[in-house]
Structure 1
């Protein structure tokens, strides 16, 4: 098995799903270390669901990397480490809060989509969306296939949260909070989509269904929550959070929360899970987080000239093609110097 499956961190739970097709579900689920009994039970009972979630992992990892592509921490995965994000997940930083939220959201999104597309025996379209209803434009009839997000959220909560509900320490409370924020983010962007019926498209009758928005909207929302994440401490009863500092607001259910400050991610540090920024591309003219001064942490950068091929002089030909030339140019590329 892939070494990632041996991680003590929750994302290992998602990685086990990749292998359901080659090993029996009972053999696989019984031999993955670190799962609590509830997770093993659900794993054995729903191998199709596990496969669907595993196949959808690339979507939320890609989204995480898109959101942070120009930052010192760029949601980098570590293929040779014991889990996707290495020792980073042992911390309780705001980056870990985002990883848990976006992965929880990814499970909901993937599962709801698999249900709607008829890939699973255990679910399909939302059965509650039937009959008629109303919105600001008037009445409509439920039809089509509404994404069954409620079912996906229930399964995600039962399966993903099982380990944290067993632990109930400060880190478990943090994970549970961010898991829930991720699930709620998917539901937040459900859209009512409709098809018109009537003479000459008059839309005298509408058939509508609820559909999830593109996952990018969830990612953008969670990224904003990351920017405004609240540092917290566990309350005196051990049941919830208070703001870690007096001038911080009390976190809402939609906020991301974290317990400890992040490293600066400037240099490679095995203990903190930082891979450093040595060798990263930077923008010499930018004063933002992608600029060489910020990205390279004051260490300076190297300049190299590379050949770049782009499409140019594109012309439209009737009908219906676009022909372009391949244009070659020399461009300067800037990369951060490594630590001395």
Structure 2
């Protein structure tokens, strides 16, 4: 590793987060040079011996693990860009509020980070970028014709075909099984060693939710084969959703996250009756263990969210949600002229030519 990269990583020690989430420091590591992951993991504070060993033994896998983590954090920031909490995770934000507060925001970050790792590894496997894994398992069930897929098609190669009534299972499915398995071994290491502690139980549960929702969200992607575009035969394989689409689904889970309590080293959530139910409320209140079937796909948290309006919002861009983001402190509007392509035309073959137009753009910033 270059000396400048080592110096930068050592500087992170000043802002080192708690060991619970120290593996997130890998998102700031430089991975451009070959065979750097063993050195990176050796110098990241707080990693467990098992995580360091996995880094040393699987340098190519760790590269895609880091890529998945970065994608998760970037997607988190994009998803929350118009909310009071905007997923501020850049150092020194990592390891400070809200992540040391066991809030619903922390629950979301853990879940999307775990899912981001799995997503990156699963896709890398199907593309043949990791030596230790290949295509995902070919489904063995007989299914009817697949619904149209919103995802881009890829060439069907690899797996042993399995016939169905309307298509053939073939191609190379995303290997989410490998992604989840490796991600679980690496990401969950610290919390598994502290599994009797409520916060670690919360983290492990939310990590599992992220991975499980990703696996459950896999859909079919198909390609037709025949003369002149006809669909004489159709091959299909399993693919994960685009990660931003998955993040939107996880955001819905964030909004419905359940507050839990600790009792005798176990986490429980109280299920209250739906609105409009009459009679004695306590008849309908029941306590669910977090590990129950009803809670398997639900995010959980231990603490209420902090007051994000107490955090400085000055100069934060607030788009069209300034009243909430700026916490009632007001905002200023700037106007600027920008160049953008316009009047684009397709020129045979194969070019798109555009003119350049001036456009007045307004931007809002908190006071």
- Counterparts of 1:41 and 1:312, CA distance in 2: 50
Residues 19, 134 of structure 1: alpha-carbon distance in 2 compared, 3 angstrom cutoff: same
Please state if 1:207 is matched with 2:235. Answer: yes
8 Å contact from structure 2 (residues 18, 95) kept in 1: no
RMSD of Structure 2 on Structure 1 (CA): 2.8
Alignment of 1:79-228 (within 5 A): 79=91, 81=92, 84=94, 86-126=96-136, 128-129=137-138, 133-137=141-145, 138-168=165-195, 169-198=197-226, 202-228=230-256
Please state if 1:49 is matched with 2:61. Answer: yes
Match of 1:273 in 2: none
Alignment of 1:247-286 (within 5 A): 250=288, 252-268=295-311, 276-283=312-319
Residues 76, 85 of structure 1: alpha-carbon distance in 2 compared, 3 angstrom cutoff: farther
Residues 31, 315 of structure 1: alpha-carbon distance in 2 compared, 3 angstrom cutoff: closer
- Counterparts of 1:31 and 1:43, CA distance in 2: 11
**SS, match of residue 326 in structure 1:** strand
Unaligned runs of 5+ in 2: 1-5, 146-164, 273-281
Q: What is the TM-score with the length of structure 1 in the denominator?
A: 0.82
Match of 1:271 in 2: none
State the 1:199 CA deviation.
5.6
Residues 13, 249 of structure 1: alpha-carbon distance in 2 compared, 3 angstrom cutoff: same
8 Å contact from structure 2 (residues 224, 234) kept in 1: yes
8 Å contact from structure 2 (residues 84, 325) kept in 1: yes
Deviation by residue 1:193-220 (Cα, 9 ceiling, x = unmatched): 2223346655343322111111112101
- Counterparts of 2:115 and 2:72, CA distance in 1: 8
- Counterparts of 2:39 and 2:69, CA distance in 1: 22
The one of 340, 351, 356 equivalent to 1:325 is 356
- Counterparts of 2:183 and 2:256, CA distance in 1: 25
- Counterparts of 2:141 and 2:339, CA distance in 1: 51
- Counterparts of 2:45 and 2:95, CA distance in 1: 18
- Counterparts of 1:121 and 1:244, CA distance in 2: 46
- Counterparts of 2:54 and 2:87, CA distance in 1: 29
Residues 238, 328 of structure 1: alpha-carbon distance in 2 compared, 3 angstrom cutoff: same
Deviation by residue 1:10-29 (Cα, 9 ceiling, x = unmatched): 44314337356467655544
Query: Which moves more between the two structures, 258-267 or 238-247?
Result: 238-247
Query: Which moves more between the two structures, 102-111 or 206-215?
Result: 206-215
Deviation by residue 1:62-109 (Cα, 9 ceiling, x = unmatched): 210111011111112334x2x636342211011111110100000000
Residues 207, 332 of structure 1: alpha-carbon distance in 2 compared, 3 angstrom cutoff: closer
**SS, match of residue 35 in structure 1:** coil
Residues 14, 47 of structure 1: alpha-carbon distance in 2 compared, 3 angstrom cutoff: farther
**SS, match of residue 174 in structure 2:** coil
Please state if 1:335 is matched with 2:365. Answer: yes
Residues 332, 317 of structure 1: alpha-carbon distance in 2 compared, 3 angstrom cutoff: closer
- Counterparts of 1:186 and 1:151, CA distance in 2: 13
Residues 278, 118 of structure 1: alpha-carbon distance in 2 compared, 3 angstrom cutoff: same
- Counterparts of 1:113 and 1:147, CA distance in 2: 5
Q: How many residues align?
A: 317
8 Å contact from structure 1 (residues 308, 328) kept in 2: yes
Please state if 1:232 is matched with 2:241. Answer: no
Q: What is the TM-score with the length of structure 2 in the denominator?
A: 0.77
Residues 307, 162 of structure 1: alpha-carbon distance in 2 compared, 3 angstrom cutoff: same
